Amino acid sequence: MRIAVVGSGALGLYYGALLQRAGNEVTFLLRRDYEAVSASGLTVRSINGDFKLDKVSAALRPEEIGETELVLVGLKTFANDSYQELIAPLVGDKTYILTLQNGLGNEELLAELFGSYRILGGVAFLCANRGEPGTVHHLGAGRIELGCFADAPESLLTEVAVMFRAAGVDCRQVRDLKSARWQKLVWNIPFNGLCTLLNAPVDRLLTNAATRSLVRDIMLEVIAAANAQGLQEPIPAEFAEKMLVFSDGMGPYRPSMLIDREEQRPLELDAIFARAVAAGAKSGVQLDKTSMLHSLLQFVSAEC
Ligand SMILES: NC(=O)C1=CN([C@@H]2O[C@H](COP(=O)(O)OP(=O)(O)OC[C@H]3O[C@@H](n4cnc5c(N)ncnc54)[C@H](OP(=O)(O)O)[C@@H]3O)[C@@H](O)[C@H]2O)C=CC1
Ligand SMILES: CC(C)(CO)C(=O)C(=O)O
Protein backbone atom coordinates (compact mmCIF):
# COMPACT_ATOMS: atom_id res chain seq x y z
CA MET A 1 0.00 0.00 0.00
CA ARG A 2 1.12 3.58 -0.61
CA ILE A 3 1.04 5.31 2.72
CA ALA A 4 1.75 8.86 3.85
CA VAL A 5 2.47 9.46 7.51
CA VAL A 6 1.27 12.87 8.66
CA GLY A 7 2.58 13.57 12.13
CA SER A 8 5.85 11.67 12.06
CA GLY A 9 6.68 11.75 15.75
CA ALA A 10 6.92 8.86 18.19
CA LEU A 11 3.80 7.02 17.03
CA GLY A 12 3.98 7.92 13.33
CA LEU A 13 7.65 7.07 12.95
CA TYR A 14 7.26 3.77 14.80
CA TYR A 15 4.26 2.37 12.91
CA GLY A 16 5.45 3.91 9.63
CA ALA A 17 8.82 2.20 10.01
CA LEU A 18 7.18 -1.18 10.68
CA LEU A 19 4.94 -0.74 7.63
CA GLN A 20 7.89 0.18 5.41
CA ARG A 21 9.93 -2.76 6.69
CA ALA A 22 7.04 -5.04 5.71
CA GLY A 23 7.23 -3.81 2.12
CA ASN A 24 4.75 -0.95 1.96
CA GLU A 25 5.64 2.27 0.17
CA VAL A 26 5.75 4.78 3.01
CA THR A 27 6.48 8.50 2.80
CA PHE A 28 6.94 10.46 5.99
CA LEU A 29 5.92 14.10 6.16
CA LEU A 30 8.68 15.39 8.41
CA ARG A 31 9.58 18.59 10.12
CA ARG A 32 12.12 18.33 12.96
CA ASP A 33 13.60 15.04 11.70
CA TYR A 34 13.65 15.86 7.98
CA GLU A 35 17.37 16.44 7.58
CA ALA A 36 18.46 13.54 9.77
CA VAL A 37 16.11 11.05 8.12
CA SER A 38 16.89 12.24 4.58
CA ALA A 39 20.62 11.97 5.25
CA SER A 40 20.86 8.81 7.35
CA GLY A 41 17.52 7.00 7.42
CA LEU A 42 15.40 6.03 10.38
CA THR A 43 16.50 4.05 13.42
CA VAL A 44 14.01 2.19 15.60
CA ARG A 45 15.21 1.19 19.05
CA SER A 46 12.66 -1.35 20.13
CA ILE A 47 12.06 -3.81 22.91
CA ASN A 48 11.33 -6.24 20.06
CA GLY A 49 14.76 -5.66 18.50
CA ASP A 50 16.38 -2.59 16.98
CA PHE A 51 16.35 -2.02 13.24
CA LYS A 52 17.31 0.66 10.78
CA LEU A 53 15.75 1.76 7.50
CA ASP A 54 18.60 3.13 5.41
CA LYS A 55 16.43 4.59 2.68
CA VAL A 56 13.41 6.54 3.72
CA SER A 57 11.12 8.65 1.56
CA ALA A 58 10.86 12.00 3.32
CA ALA A 59 8.92 15.14 2.44
CA LEU A 60 8.70 18.57 3.97
CA ARG A 61 5.42 19.51 2.32
CA PRO A 62 2.40 17.29 1.54
CA GLU A 63 2.34 18.62 -2.05
CA GLU A 64 5.63 16.75 -2.63
CA ILE A 65 3.84 13.49 -1.80
CA GLY A 66 0.59 13.96 -3.71
CA GLU A 67 -2.30 11.49 -3.76
CA THR A 68 -1.81 8.40 -1.69
CA GLU A 69 -3.85 5.32 -0.74
CA LEU A 70 -3.72 5.65 3.03
CA VAL A 71 -2.94 8.63 5.22
CA LEU A 72 -1.80 7.62 8.69
CA VAL A 73 -2.37 10.51 11.09
CA GLY A 74 -0.01 10.75 14.07
CA LEU A 75 -0.26 14.44 14.88
CA LYS A 76 -0.77 15.59 18.41
CA THR A 77 -4.42 16.62 18.64
CA PHE A 78 -3.49 20.23 19.42
CA ALA A 79 -2.29 20.38 15.80
CA ASN A 80 -5.63 19.21 14.36
CA ASP A 81 -6.25 22.66 12.93
CA SER A 82 -3.56 21.67 10.38
CA TYR A 83 -5.59 18.72 9.03
CA GLN A 84 -6.77 20.64 5.98
CA GLU A 85 -3.34 22.03 5.07
CA LEU A 86 -1.44 18.79 5.71
CA ILE A 87 -3.90 16.17 4.46
CA ALA A 88 -5.87 17.72 1.58
CA PRO A 89 -2.96 17.45 -0.92
CA LEU A 90 -2.77 13.70 -0.20
CA VAL A 91 -6.42 12.92 -0.82
CA GLY A 92 -7.81 11.58 -4.08
CA ASP A 93 -10.89 9.48 -4.90
CA LYS A 94 -9.38 6.33 -3.47
CA THR A 95 -7.66 7.68 -0.40
CA TYR A 96 -8.48 6.52 3.10
CA ILE A 97 -7.46 8.22 6.30
CA LEU A 98 -6.62 6.46 9.56
CA THR A 99 -6.11 8.43 12.74
CA LEU A 100 -4.36 6.74 15.67
CA GLN A 101 -4.42 9.90 17.78
CA ASN A 102 -5.74 9.83 21.32
CA GLY A 103 -8.94 11.44 22.51
CA LEU A 104 -12.32 12.33 21.08
CA GLY A 105 -13.35 14.34 18.04
CA ASN A 106 -10.53 13.42 15.62
CA GLU A 107 -12.57 11.24 13.25
CA GLU A 108 -15.45 13.73 13.35
CA LEU A 109 -13.23 16.59 12.22
CA LEU A 110 -11.58 14.46 9.51
CA ALA A 111 -15.02 13.36 8.30
CA GLU A 112 -16.21 16.97 8.13
CA LEU A 113 -13.21 17.92 6.01
CA PHE A 114 -12.76 14.87 3.80
CA GLY A 115 -15.98 12.78 3.94
CA SER A 116 -16.94 10.16 6.51
CA TYR A 117 -16.79 7.21 4.04
CA ARG A 118 -12.99 7.34 4.02
CA ILE A 119 -12.30 7.65 7.73
CA LEU A 120 -10.93 4.86 9.93
CA GLY A 121 -9.97 5.32 13.54
CA GLY A 122 -7.88 3.43 15.98
CA VAL A 123 -6.40 3.45 19.42
CA ALA A 124 -2.79 2.52 20.01
CA PHE A 125 -1.62 0.88 23.22
CA LEU A 126 1.92 1.91 22.48
CA CYS A 127 4.69 3.33 24.61
CA ALA A 128 6.98 5.19 22.23
CA ASN A 129 9.09 8.31 22.66
CA ARG A 130 11.18 10.31 20.26
CA GLY A 131 14.93 10.19 20.46
CA GLU A 132 17.51 12.35 18.74
CA PRO A 133 16.40 13.30 15.19
CA GLY A 134 16.12 10.16 13.07
CA THR A 135 15.57 7.81 16.01
CA VAL A 136 12.40 6.57 17.67
CA HIS A 137 12.27 4.57 20.89
CA HIS A 138 9.71 1.79 21.28
CA LEU A 139 9.56 1.18 25.02
CA GLY A 140 6.60 -1.16 25.34
CA ALA A 141 3.33 -2.60 24.04
CA GLY A 142 2.10 -1.60 20.57
CA ARG A 143 -1.31 -3.21 20.09
CA ILE A 144 -3.78 -1.27 18.01
CA GLU A 145 -7.53 -1.56 17.78
CA LEU A 146 -9.08 -0.32 14.55
CA GLY A 147 -12.65 0.52 13.70
CA CYS A 148 -14.65 2.15 10.91
CA PHE A 149 -15.99 5.61 11.51
CA ALA A 150 -19.57 5.92 10.23
CA ASP A 151 -19.88 4.50 6.74
CA ALA A 152 -16.28 3.55 5.88
CA PRO A 153 -16.31 0.06 4.32
CA GLU A 154 -15.57 -2.89 6.58
CA SER A 155 -13.51 -4.48 3.75
CA LEU A 156 -11.11 -1.54 3.89
CA LEU A 157 -10.73 -1.92 7.63
CA THR A 158 -9.87 -5.57 7.13
CA GLU A 159 -7.30 -4.70 4.46
CA VAL A 160 -5.61 -2.18 6.74
CA ALA A 161 -5.71 -4.55 9.72
CA VAL A 162 -4.13 -7.32 7.63
CA MET A 163 -1.42 -4.89 6.54
CA PHE A 164 -0.59 -3.98 10.16
CA ARG A 165 -0.54 -7.64 11.17
CA ALA A 166 1.81 -8.45 8.29
CA ALA A 167 4.06 -5.72 9.69
CA GLY A 168 4.17 -7.48 13.04
CA VAL A 169 1.65 -5.32 14.87
CA ASP A 170 -0.93 -6.93 17.15
CA CYS A 171 -3.92 -5.38 15.39
CA ARG A 172 -7.54 -6.09 16.21
CA GLN A 173 -10.68 -4.95 14.43
CA VAL A 174 -13.41 -3.61 16.66
CA ARG A 175 -17.11 -3.26 15.91
CA ASP A 176 -17.53 -0.27 18.19
CA LEU A 177 -14.86 2.36 17.61
CA LYS A 178 -16.54 4.69 20.09
CA SER A 179 -16.20 2.08 22.83
CA ALA A 180 -12.51 1.58 21.96
CA ARG A 181 -11.93 5.35 22.14
CA TRP A 182 -13.53 5.57 25.58
CA GLN A 183 -11.59 2.52 26.78
CA LYS A 184 -8.42 4.35 25.85
CA LEU A 185 -9.61 7.41 27.76
CA VAL A 186 -9.98 5.20 30.83
CA TRP A 187 -6.17 5.06 30.71
CA ASN A 188 -5.33 8.49 29.35
CA ILE A 189 -7.47 10.61 31.65
CA PRO A 190 -6.02 9.44 34.98
CA PHE A 191 -2.46 8.75 33.86
CA ASN A 192 -1.87 11.62 31.46
CA GLY A 193 -3.56 13.91 33.97
CA LEU A 194 -1.91 12.82 37.19
CA CYS A 195 1.56 12.00 35.80
CA THR A 196 1.67 15.44 34.17
CA LEU A 197 0.44 17.30 37.25
CA LEU A 198 2.62 15.39 39.71
CA ASN A 199 5.64 15.11 37.42
CA ALA A 200 5.73 11.39 38.17
CA PRO A 201 5.96 8.30 35.95
CA VAL A 202 3.28 5.62 35.89
CA ASP A 203 4.93 3.26 38.42
CA ARG A 204 5.13 5.96 41.09
CA LEU A 205 1.41 6.58 40.92
CA LEU A 206 0.72 2.87 41.13
CA THR A 207 3.00 2.04 44.04
CA ASN A 208 1.55 4.79 46.21
CA ALA A 209 -1.72 3.57 47.75
CA ALA A 210 -3.42 6.99 47.68
CA THR A 211 -2.70 7.74 44.03
CA ARG A 212 -3.45 4.15 42.96
CA SER A 213 -6.86 4.48 44.55
CA LEU A 214 -7.39 7.88 42.90
CA VAL A 215 -6.45 6.43 39.50
CA ARG A 216 -9.05 3.68 40.03
CA ASP A 217 -11.75 6.19 41.02
CA ILE A 218 -11.06 8.34 37.97
CA MET A 219 -11.19 5.25 35.76
CA LEU A 220 -14.60 4.32 37.19
CA GLU A 221 -15.86 7.87 36.60
CA VAL A 222 -14.76 7.69 32.96
CA ILE A 223 -16.37 4.25 32.55
CA ALA A 224 -19.67 5.65 33.87
CA ALA A 225 -19.57 8.47 31.32
CA ALA A 226 -18.60 6.06 28.54
CA ASN A 227 -21.55 3.82 29.28
CA ALA A 228 -23.91 6.80 29.04
CA GLN A 229 -22.88 7.30 25.38
CA GLY A 230 -25.04 4.48 23.99
CA LEU A 231 -22.09 2.23 23.24
CA GLN A 232 -22.78 -1.00 21.37
CA GLU A 233 -20.20 -2.58 23.63
CA PRO A 234 -20.47 -1.10 27.14
CA ILE A 235 -17.35 -1.11 29.32
CA PRO A 236 -17.59 -3.28 32.44
CA ALA A 237 -16.40 -1.80 35.77
CA GLU A 238 -13.78 -4.60 35.97
CA PHE A 239 -12.05 -2.94 33.01
CA ALA A 240 -10.52 -0.48 35.53
CA GLU A 241 -8.72 -3.32 37.32
CA LYS A 242 -7.57 -4.72 33.97
CA MET A 243 -6.08 -1.33 33.05
CA LEU A 244 -4.34 -1.09 36.44
CA VAL A 245 -2.72 -4.48 35.87
CA PHE A 246 -1.73 -3.48 32.29
CA SER A 247 -0.19 -0.29 33.72
CA ASP A 248 1.71 -2.21 36.44
CA GLY A 249 3.72 -3.68 33.57
CA MET A 250 4.71 -0.26 32.23
CA GLY A 251 7.34 0.52 34.86
CA PRO A 252 8.62 4.11 34.94
CA TYR A 253 6.81 5.08 31.72
CA ARG A 254 6.33 8.82 31.23
CA PRO A 255 3.11 9.51 29.29
CA SER A 256 3.43 11.70 26.25
CA MET A 257 1.58 14.55 27.99
CA LEU A 258 4.19 14.67 30.74
CA ILE A 259 6.91 14.92 28.10
CA ASP A 260 4.94 17.67 26.36
CA ARG A 261 4.86 19.59 29.64
CA GLU A 262 8.59 19.10 30.20
CA GLU A 263 9.34 20.27 26.69
CA GLN A 264 6.94 23.20 27.02
CA ARG A 265 4.62 22.13 24.22
CA PRO A 266 0.86 22.54 24.31
CA LEU A 267 -1.06 19.70 25.99
CA GLU A 268 -3.79 17.58 24.37
CA LEU A 269 -6.41 18.93 26.73
CA ASP A 270 -9.30 19.43 24.35
CA ALA A 271 -9.38 15.91 22.85
CA ILE A 272 -8.60 14.02 26.05
CA PHE A 273 -10.27 16.09 28.79
CA ALA A 274 -12.65 18.81 27.55
CA ARG A 275 -14.50 16.60 25.07
CA ALA A 276 -14.91 13.77 27.57
CA VAL A 277 -16.26 16.14 30.23
CA ALA A 278 -18.66 17.70 27.69
CA ALA A 279 -19.87 14.31 26.39
CA GLY A 280 -20.44 13.13 29.97
CA ALA A 281 -22.38 16.28 30.91
CA LYS A 282 -24.52 16.02 27.76
CA SER A 283 -25.57 12.51 28.74
CA GLY A 284 -26.17 13.38 32.41
CA VAL A 285 -22.87 12.15 33.93
CA GLN A 286 -20.77 14.80 35.68
CA LEU A 287 -17.06 13.98 35.43
CA ASP A 288 -16.04 15.90 38.55
CA LYS A 289 -12.57 14.43 39.00
CA THR A 290 -11.79 14.64 35.29
CA SER A 291 -13.03 18.20 35.26
CA MET A 292 -10.73 19.08 38.15
CA LEU A 293 -7.76 17.48 36.37
CA HIS A 294 -8.67 19.52 33.31
CA SER A 295 -8.73 22.80 35.26
CA LEU A 296 -5.36 22.07 36.88
CA LEU A 297 -3.84 21.10 33.56
CA GLN A 298 -5.15 24.31 32.00
CA PHE A 299 -3.31 26.18 34.76
CA VAL A 300 -0.10 24.22 34.10
CA SER A 301 -0.46 24.67 30.38
CA ALA A 302 -0.86 28.44 30.71
CA GLU A 303 2.37 28.54 32.77
CA CYS A 304 4.40 26.81 29.98
N1 LIG B 1 3.69 8.14 21.76
C2 LIG B 1 2.90 7.13 22.06
O3 LIG B 1 3.37 6.06 22.50
C4 LIG B 1 1.43 7.23 21.86
C5 LIG B 1 0.84 8.35 21.32
N6 LIG B 1 -0.52 8.37 21.12
C7 LIG B 1 -1.18 9.52 20.53
O8 LIG B 1 -0.72 9.66 19.19
C9 LIG B 1 -0.65 11.04 18.82
C10 LIG B 1 0.78 11.38 18.44
O11 LIG B 1 1.59 11.25 19.60
P12 LIG B 1 3.18 11.23 19.54
O13 LIG B 1 3.63 10.49 18.36
O14 LIG B 1 3.64 10.82 20.87
O15 LIG B 1 3.45 12.78 19.32
P16 LIG B 1 4.79 13.50 18.79
O17 LIG B 1 4.80 14.86 19.36
O18 LIG B 1 5.96 12.61 19.01
O19 LIG B 1 4.53 13.56 17.23
C20 LIG B 1 3.69 14.49 16.61
C21 LIG B 1 4.31 14.82 15.28
O22 LIG B 1 3.44 15.70 14.56
C23 LIG B 1 4.31 16.58 13.85
N24 LIG B 1 3.60 17.82 13.45
C25 LIG B 1 2.86 18.64 14.21
N26 LIG B 1 2.43 19.68 13.47
C27 LIG B 1 2.94 19.52 12.24
C28 LIG B 1 2.91 20.27 11.05
N29 LIG B 1 2.20 21.40 10.96
N30 LIG B 1 3.57 19.80 9.97
C31 LIG B 1 4.27 18.64 10.03
N32 LIG B 1 4.35 17.86 11.15
C33 LIG B 1 3.70 18.31 12.22
C34 LIG B 1 5.43 16.89 14.82
O35 LIG B 1 6.47 17.48 14.09
P36 LIG B 1 7.96 17.75 14.64
O37 LIG B 1 8.70 16.52 14.25
O38 LIG B 1 8.44 18.95 13.98
O39 LIG B 1 7.84 17.90 16.13
C40 LIG B 1 5.69 15.49 15.37
O41 LIG B 1 6.59 14.80 14.57
C42 LIG B 1 -1.18 11.80 20.03
O43 LIG B 1 -2.56 12.01 19.90
C44 LIG B 1 -0.89 10.86 21.21
O45 LIG B 1 -1.72 11.09 22.31
C46 LIG B 1 -1.29 7.28 21.38
C47 LIG B 1 -0.74 6.16 21.92
C48 LIG B 1 0.63 6.07 22.25
C1 LIG C 1 -1.62 4.31 27.09
C2 LIG C 1 -0.38 4.93 26.44
C3 LIG C 1 0.78 4.80 27.35
C4 LIG C 1 -0.10 4.07 25.26
O5 LIG C 1 -0.34 2.78 25.50
C6 LIG C 1 -0.65 6.33 25.95
O7 LIG C 1 -1.66 6.53 25.34
C8 LIG C 1 0.19 7.55 26.16
O9 LIG C 1 1.34 7.56 26.53
O10 LIG C 1 -0.36 8.64 25.90
Q: Same domain, yes or no, for 14 and 154?
A: yes
Q: Ligand 2 centre from 216 Cα, in Å?
A: 17
Taking only the tens place, the pLDDT of each residue in 46-83 is 999 999 999 999 999 999 999 999 999 999 999 999 99
Average pLDDT, the chain: 97
Report phi then psi at 132, rounded to 5: -65, 160
Q: Same domain, yes or no, for 85 and 195?
A: no
- Find the domain containing 200 and state its range: 178-303
Predicted local confidence at residue 303, as pLDDT: 80
pTM over 0.90: yes
Tell me whether strands 135-148 and 119-130 are parallel, antiparallel or unpaired.
antiparallel
Q: Same domain, yes or no, for 39 and 169?
A: yes
CA 141 to ligand 2: nearest atom = 5
Q: Same domain, yes or no, for 216 and 165?
A: no
Catalytic residues: 184
Taking only the tens place, the pLDDT of each residue in 174-202 is 999 999 999 999 999 999 999 999 999 99
Q: Same domain, yes or no, for 216 and 120?
A: no
Which sign does the torsion angle of CA 162, 188, 74, 236 carry?
Answer: positive
Question: Average pLDDT of 80-102?
Answer: 98
Q: Same domain, yes or no, for 94 and 206?
A: no
In this structure, which ligand is nearest to the CA of 77? 1
The domain boundary residue, chosen from 154, 174, 194:
174
CATH number of the domain residue 289 falls in: 1.10.1040.10
Q: Ligand 1 centre from 73 Cα, in Å?
A: 9
Domain count of the chain?
A: 2
Q: Same domain, yes or no, for 127 and 58?
A: yes
In whole angstroms, what is the distance from residue 2 CA to residue 95 CA? 10
- Among 148, 183, 156, 193, which Cα is nearest to 297's? 193
CA 11 to ligand 1: nearest atom = 13
H or E segment and range at residue 211 = helix 209-226
Q: Ligand 2 centre from 43 Cα, in Å?
A: 21
Sort 61 into a burial class: Cβ within 10 Å, 0-12 / 13-18 / 19+.
exposed
